A and B are shown apart, each in its own frame.
Chain A
Amino acid sequence: MELLSGLIDNYYYFVAIILFVIGMHTMLTHSNMIKKVIAMNIMDTSVFLLFVAIGYVHGGRPPIIAGNEEALYVNPLPGALILTGIVVAVSVTAYALSLIVKIHRTYGTVDCDEICKIRGDE
């Protein structure tokens, strides 16, 4: 019972892990490259969600100092880190997509299995 209520209280951790597994599974098993990139983003975003959730303090205010030093603040550090993480994820996505464009130009498909077949026939 304690475990269950612990899970319900911290459901965002749970959601993050489920998203992570969905992302990783799709990324490794789907043969469509665009889907792989989408899955990569789902996976990254799930970790960002987890990180931001760690920094959340129940009933906390935004971490802006407004004269009143006693107030409870949300931990600002994870937010700052994840901002960097998002930038990194965007650049990886951009690179992956540009790579897919090139692959489509050379092979005429964005499906990994078909590319394997084309390469096998050569």
Chain B
Amino acid sequence: MVLSEQLPALIVISPLICAFLSPLLYRRHARASAYLVLLSLLLSLVMAAALLIKVQRSGPLFYQMGSWPPPWGIEYVADPLRVYMLLVVVAVSLWIFLYAIQDLGHELREEVIGWYYTLYSLLVASMAAMTLTNDLFNLFVLMEICAITSCAIITIKEDRECLEAGFKYLILSAMGTGCFLLGVAMLYMVTGYLNFDFLQEELSTAVLNYPLNVFTAAALFIVAFGTKAALFPLHVWLPDAHASAPSPSSAMLSGLVIKIYAFTLFIIFYRVFPRSLLDSLPLSEIVLWLAAFGVMFGSIYAMLQTDLKKMLAYSSIGQIAFIFMGIGLDQRLALVGGLYHIAVHAITKAMLFMAAGTVIYATGVRKISDLAGIGRVMPLVMVAFTIGSASMIGIPGTGGLISKWYLALGALESGRSLFVLVILLSSLLNAIYYMPIVINSFMSQEDFGHEAREVPKVLQSALVIGMIFVALTGIFSRPLIQLIEAQITLLF
């Protein structure tokens, strides 16, 4: 047994074990419990990086759980694309946790923080496993773990708004998983497999013999992942849930949880459905149009908000739609843009939520109109907010530009210039609602009217890390883009 071959399982197991240990430890040493979570996430990150180097060197790694061979056993696959997503998940959640250690103290009751660590680790473990799994039923179980834990990190705050938003989220995501499981049943009925590779092979003939089953399954999958990832008409749960949650949860939910479902839909489209199905059904077309509406409506709703966190939540609906647009255009460059946008938006939106959270931590202000002049009181926080806004709009030097650039190139190359217009228009709308906040906070004539306490070092350093990340995705995008591009080329 070589340790490096067990990496896919170990990456998932490390936060899982931590999930059980941290609340036990929390009773005795609260501080040590937080360090334990940090350590386990760091361990996962190091292992994920090692895994990336390994798969880059020697090709995809197939890992059989408990040595049970597929199609019956559960299989994990580590190819560069999945490991890229895994790295994004683990790295961003490690960074958000750094922020959470300090911020949670003022948002949660002291005795539930240990349980928050459990939920957080479970969430990370389930998302990490979702990027790697190659089995539909395993995916279902992981989706449910992810759904419960992501609801729970909202409702753990136990105030009026959170409870109601959490319940709405739970019901809609239960509907999503119900649809997903029905779709899985439909595919199992005609193929007898749950493993992605076996399914893809079998489906190319099954789609001719039992078209109805496969079509229904495809439609159900779009509904399921659309609900979970807040694709336009199914987004109703998102604004309340993301805005009312504690700030680290908001950053986690908006940054990673919705993206993981978009990524899974991508995997299902290209690794489960055979090419002939995508060509014969307008699946991509449906996703594309929903995404285009999502981009526009998300931005328009965001303009109307008066609450800072709610505005960021609505902005997420617009931004997640860019990723779906990449999937919908079904074109090499657009997919590169869409998948790169996963990393860019995960980092940027997490940072914006952290900046908003820091403002709330220090001053208690949530309303956008009250932010006038705050840039002179808390310069670092608002500089971070400015850089995040720049990336949302797509100003050169930030990651937002790169992903939108590739999306637009892809749209042009497939002859859909209308969507280039949608991308441009949405950037303009983003500028309309992000820029006034930035301008107002630095250049307003009035002074900031509320008391501000000092921002702790941990929160400041988390924001600085975020700014560095955003700049890196903008300036040194080449290696990541090359990695994604090489993998996407294999699909076409």
Which residues of A have CB within 8 Å of B174?
27, 40, 43-44, 92, 96
Q: Which residues of B contact A33 (CB under 8 A)?
A: 167
Q: Contact at B144–A92, with CB atoms within 8 Å?
A: yes
Which residues of chain A are near B182, meaning CB under 8 Å? Answer: 20, 47, 50
Please determine whether B175 and A103 come into contact, CB atoms closer than 8 angstroms. Answer: no
Q: A92-B174, A95-B151 are in contact. Are A54 and B185 (CB under 8 A)?
A: yes
A58 located at the interface, meaning its Cβ lies under 8 Å from any Cβ of chain B in the complex:
no
Asked whether B189 is an interface residue with its Cβ less than 8 Å from the other chain, the reply is yes
Q: A27-B175, A54-B188 known; A88 and B144 CB under 8 Å?
A: yes
B156-164, B275-283, B453-461: which lies at the interface: B156-164
- Report how many residues on chain A are interfacial, defined by Cβ distance under 8 Å: 32
Q: Which residues of A lie under 8 Å from residue B166 when comparing CB positions?
A: 99
CA distance A107 to B388 in the complex (A): 37
The one of B151, B163, B178 that contacts A43, using a Cβ cutoff of 8 Å: B178
Which A-chain residue is minimally distant from B137 (CB atoms)?
Answer: A81
**Contact partners of B185 in chain A: CB under 8 A:** 47, 50-51, 54
Contact with B along A71-83 (1 / 0, CB 8 A): 0000001100100
B contacts with A, residue count (CB < 8 A): 28
Q: Does B72 contact A (CB under 8 A)?
A: yes
Would B137 and A103 count as touching, CB distance under 8 A? Answer: no
- Give min CB distance, B268 to chain A, whole Å: 18
Contact B164 A115 (CB under 8 A): yes
A76-108, CB < 8 A from B: 77-78, 81, 84-85, 88, 91-92, 95-96, 99-100, 102-103, 106-107
Q: Say yes or no: is B20 at the interface (Cβ < 8 Å to chain A).
A: no
* Shortest distance from the beta carbon of B297 to any chain A beta carbon, whole Å: 21
Minimum CB–CB distance from B222 to chain A (whole Å) comes to 15
**Chain A residues closer than 8 Å to B151, beta-carbon distance:** 95, 99
CA distance A33 to B174 in the complex (A): 13
Which residues of chain A have C-beta atoms less than 8 A from B163's C-beta? 99, 102-103, 106
Name B139-158 residues within 8 Å CB distance of A.
140-141, 144, 147-148, 151-152, 155, 158
Residue contact B164 to A84, C-beta cutoff 8 Å: no
| Bound Cα distance A78, B194 (Å) | 11
How many whole Å from A34's CB to the nearest CB in chain B?
11
Q: Tell me if B181 and A85 are in contact (CB < 8 A).
A: yes
**Assembly CA distance A115 to B161 (angstroms):** 10
Chain B 126-148 interface mask (CB, 8 Å, partner A; 1/0): 00000000000100110010011
| Nearest CB of B to A15, in Å | 14
Which has the most chain A C-beta neighbours within 10 Å: B137, B166, B182, B185? Answer: B185
Bound-state CA distance A54–B182 (Å) is 12
A16 CB to nearest B CB, Å: 8
Q: How far is the CB of A24 from chain B (nearest CB, A)?
A: 6
The reply to whether A51 and B148 contact each other, CB–CB distance below 8 Å, is: no
- B170, A20: Cβ atoms closer than 8 Å: no
Contact B171 A40 (CB under 8 A): yes
Q: How many A-B residue pairs have CB under 8 A?
A: 80
| Distance between A2 CB and nearest chain B CB, rounded to angstroms | 15
For the complex, is A119 an interface residue (Cβ under 8 Å from B)? yes
Which residues in B have their C-beta under 8 angstroms from that of A106? 160, 163
Chain B residue nearest in CB terms to A106 = B160
Query: Is A51's CB under 8 angstroms from B147's CB?
Result: no
Q: Which of B170, B175, B181 has the most CB of A within 10 A?
A: B181
Q: Name which residue of chain B comes closest to A96, CB basis.
A: B170
Bound CA span A106–B155, Å: 13
**Complex Cα distance A23/B161, Å?**
26
A16 to B151, CA, bound (A): 28
Q: How far is the CA of A99 from the CA of B194 in the complex (A)?
A: 33
Q: Which of A43, A91, A107 gathers the greatest number of chain B CB atoms within 10 Å? A: A43
Q: Given known contacts A40-B178, A92-B144, A103-B163, is B171 in contact with A78 (CB within 8 Å)?
A: no
B152 touches A103 (CB 8 A): no
From B147, B155, B160, contact of A99 by CB (8 A): B155
Proximity bits, B264-289, A CB within 8 Å = 1, else 0? 00000000000000000000000000
Q: Given A27-B171, A50-B185, does the pair A119, B164 have CB atoms closer than 8 Å? A: yes
- Residues of chain B within 8 A of A27, CB atoms compared: 171, 174-175
Give bound CA distance, A40 to B172, whole Å.
Answer: 10
Distance to closest chain B CB from A110 (angstroms) = 10
A43–B178 Cα distance when bound, in Å, is 7
* B residues less than 8 Å from A102 (CB atoms): 155, 158, 163
Taking CB atoms, residues of chain B closer than 8 Å to A99 are 151, 155, 163, 166-167, 170
A27 to B175, alpha carbons, bound, how many Å?
Answer: 8
Pull 18 A–B residue pairs with CB atoms less than 8 Å apart, ordered by A: A20-B182, A23-B178, A27-B175, A36-B171, A40-B174, A43-B174, A43-B175, A47-B178, A47-B181, A50-B185, A81-B137, A81-B194, A92-B147, A95-B152, A99-B166, A102-B163, A103-B163, A103-B167
A81-B137, A84-B137, A103-B167 are known; give 18 further A-B pairs, CB within 8 A: A20-B182, A27-B174, A27-B175, A36-B171, A40-B175, A43-B178, A50-B182, A51-B181, A54-B185, A54-B189, A91-B148, A92-B144, A92-B174, A95-B152, A96-B167, A99-B163, A99-B167, A119-B164
* A-B CB proximity, top 4 nearest: A88-B144, A43-B178, A47-B181, A50-B185
**Chain B residues packing against A (C-beta within 8 Å):** 72, 137, 140-141, 144, 147-148, 151-152, 155, 158, 160-161, 163-164, 166-167, 170-171, 174-175, 178, 181-182, 185, 188-189, 194
